[in-house]
Amino acid sequence: MSRRNDLIRQLIASDKFGKDKEQEQKFLMATADLILTDLISICINGFERKGAGSLVINLLNDSTTYMDGNAIEFDLRIAEREEDRDVLEFLRGLLEEIDENDWSKDVLITLISDVGTRTFAVEAGRSQESLRAFAEELSG
């Protein structure tokens, strides 16, 4: 299992109380911050190489991939052919999120788990200047 999946499971399933739980939560939050910074960097690299898309983290099969519009369109055709309504709904919603995102400041991270799927617009933070410059280049 990946370190980010481990962290997410630990964050939601702590069995500690009091001061121990407080210390554990501080440690896990610091670790989560480092991981989020890594994920934002992966998103920016994906955006710069492939264009607008989302980093998709699938907790069900422990996979992570950056999906740009071309990859999503390819998967949409497969889902249409297989008549997979759940995948179609997910991919169409993801394309909508990509179209509506403010690429000058945010990247997209999508989490897939047994309780559902959700896409988050995450501020690029210190990496924002690089993201803004590339977004301006693309928009002409």
Contact 103, 135 (CB under 8 A): yes
Q: What is the rounded CA–CA span in Å between residue 9 and residue 11?
A: 5
Q: How many CB atoms lie within 10 A of CB 102?
A: 9
Nearest CA among 11, 73, 2 for reference residue 39: 2
> How many residues in the chain?
140
The tens digit of pLDDT for each residue in 35-86 reads 888 888 899 999 999 999 999 999 899 899 999 999 999 999 999 999 999 9
Phi-psi region of 18 (alpha: psi -120 to 50; beta: other; left: phi over 0): left
86-135 per-position pLDDT tens digit: 999 999 999 999 999 998 888 999 999 888 899 999 888 655 555 555 55
